[in-house]
Structure formats: C-alpha cells, structure tokens
Amino acid sequence: MILTVTLNPAVDKALEVPGFAVGVHARAAVKSLLPAGKGVNVARGIARLGGRAQATGFIGRNEERMFVESLAEEGVTAEFCAVAGRTRTNTTILDPAARTTTHLRERGFRVGALDVAAIGALLERRLDDSPDATLVFAGSLPDGMLADGFADLLQACAGRGAEIVLDTSGPPLRAAVESGAVGIVKPNLEELAECLGRPVERRDALDGARELRRRVGTVLLTLGEEGAYLLTGSGVVGRRCPLEPGELGNTVGCGDAFLAGWLRGREISDDPVEALSWAVAAGAASAMSETTVGYTLANVQTLLRRCTDTGKAV
C-alpha cells in the first residue's frame, strides 16, 4: 500500500486572466478547482500513471466531502482527519498573453494536540492492516503542529514497520531526518542545505547528497532542468528529461509529479535508471501542463523516450 499523508492540504484554484495586471479589473476563467496539497498531488499522480494510492491527512470539515468525492473520481481512496477551520485555497493566475504565472498562497487551519493524536491513531489503524506500507509525508505542517511532534509521528509509523518517504522543508525536514525514521527523502538544493545545516553550492550538490545518504537509506536529489539523482547504498544514477523551447507551461507541482513518477516507476521496474526516468518524465510532463496534475500516462510515456543520463553520475 502507498498511503500519502498531507497534513496541510489545499484547494488549488487556477484562473486564466489574459493581460493580468495588479490594480485593474479583469475577467477570469476558472481553469480548475481541485483538491491538492503535496501528498494529495502525489496520490493523484500515481493514479494517473496507472498505479494505486490512498490519501489521508488533515482536512477542514467543510471541505472533507469535496476532497473524498473528487479523489474517488480519480481512483484514489481517501480517509481524512477532519479538523475545525477552513482548508486553505492556493490560487494560480495564468496569463496566456504574457506567459506569466502568479501564485497566491493562503494560511490554512490550526490544529491542536487532540488533532495530532487523532491523525496518529488513524495512521496506526491503517498500519495495523498494512504493516509494510509506504507512507509518503509530503508538504508543510499546519499551524499548531511542531517539528518535534512531526518527528514523533514519523517514528511511531516507522516503528510499526512502515517505509517513510519524505518531501517537506524547513524545521520539519531537519527534525524528520534527525529522527532516524526516514527511509527516503526528496530534497532540492535548498532543502539539501536545510538537511545538512549549512549552505550547499550547486557544484557540491552530489557530495552533499552523499553525506545525507549516510543518514537515510535513499536520497532523491532534484535539480530542476538539470535533472535528478538517485542515491542508494548501491551507488548513484542521474537522469534528465529536457523540454523544448516554448513547452514550459506551469512549474507548480512538478516535484509532486516527480515523486509520483518515481514511486510508480519502482513498482514497474527494479531498474533504478528506469524508475528515475519515470520520475523525471513525470516532472517534465507536469511542467508542460497548465494545471497541477494535468499530465497523463500517455504524456509521460512519450517523454520517457527523451530521458538521458545527466552525464555526472558516479
């Protein structure tokens, strides 16, 4: 079982506004209104790629039904822990004339100790049914949940046999890595520096990732258009999927697509190169789409043929 855990979900709203400018009135067309948050996006992406994933996490009570029903339509089973307050809305404004993208991010609900205990109990129950599950903790923490409490939650899940996959940032990332519970972590360059507690230059990224890998089992280092690296106890592989000029559409959610592609890729193949190719192809497919999780299996399969080695893996 792959279970994604989104502790600070969002409603993603994409608006198309030709000639968008600050301080003026403009007509907008709603391109999409969908349940989101990094873990939710990963679960939706796995389903898009022909796999199966389940989703959980916190949710505002008023948005619970919309999330569960919308995800079910995409083949994702969801069971959330409802809390008081409203789920945040993240708005993306697309201007097709100027080819610009503007992101507006809201603060979400606040959780308390009882809420944190409730999500812990939900996860324990799920792991009792599937003790060898892969739990994907992705995204930020809601107000009221501390990094240390997050690390405790990961340790409890790992103690029940779960494989912990992590995609977050800031103090929660550092606390999680230091907890010893994380098996797989997906940092970009900035997040790699957060893990190590020091600045990391691009030229030193692989060395930094090797240092991090001594503390977790697997590192998925993402470097944008330069590609990505997979570091395990068996070595390092690097892959990239270049885009043609004019193909870039929307970079929101590319990291989530990458992680969905890698999780699905390793189900399809034991070859780490092929699994990483699925990851970078899914990330590229997401970048070509105007909306979050707007890519398809056919898009990714087409882009797999573009994947190449980064030429720097050792």
Contacts 24+ apart (CB under 8 A), 66-73: 66/11, 66/35, 67/9, 67/35, 67/40, 70/34, 70/35, 71/35, 71/40, 71/43, 71/44
Q: In what order do the strands lie in the sheet containing 54-60?
A: 77-83, 54-60, 2-6, 134-138, 163-167, 184-185, 218-222, 228-232, 235-240, 308-309
Residues catalogued as catalytic: 256
3-state helix, strand, coil in the chain (%, to 5): 40, 25, 35
Give which of 134, 185, 158, 183 is closest to 2, Cα–Cα: 134
As a whole number of angstroms, the distance between CA 256 and CA 235 comes to: 24
